[in-house]
Amino acid sequence: MTYLLLTIGFALLIKGADWFVEGASNIAGLLRVPSILIGLTIVAFGTSSPESTVSIIAALEGNADIALGNVVGSNIFNITLVVGLTALINPLKVESETIRKEIPLH
């Protein structure tokens, strides 16, 4: 039963994400703005809304530690994911002199 509910949840999540992206594209078309602008605003807000919801509920229930941990954890994950994927696609080139200055014990 648990696996069935998990599968149904994933299917609904995927369909909801599809509707969300479709709706954001329609808004971009109606407002005649570039899709990248919609991607950077509406979609960005939509992807951070679960963290916001958890943090608001935790704060209202007096669990500030959960709200703070949620914010810090999601930011750490998002930053490391973006930097990591960027480094995989196009590795950063750092001169050896910079490494000697910035990491003296290296």
Query: What's the pLDDT at 9?
Result: 92
Neighbour count for residue 68 (Cβ, 10 Å): 13
Query: What's the pLDDT at 5?
Result: 95
Domain regions of the chain by residue span: 2-102
- Mean pLDDT confidence for 37-45: 78
Query: What's the pLDDT at 11?
Result: 95
Read off the pLDDT of residues 82-102 as tens digits, 9 standing for 90 and up. Answer: 888 888 998 878 888 888 888
Read off the pLDDT of residues 51-84 as tens digits, 9 standing for 90 and up. Answer: 888 889 998 999 889 888 888 888 888 889 888 8
Using alpha carbons, select from 57, 43, 105, 51 the residue that is nearest to residue 77.
51
3-state SS of 32-95? Answer: CCCHHHHHHHHHHHHHHHHHHHHHHHHHHCCCHHHHHHHHHHHHHHHHHHHHHHHHHHCCCCCC
Supply the pTM of this predicted model.
0.50
In the predicted model, is pLDDT for residue 39 greater than 80?
Answer: no
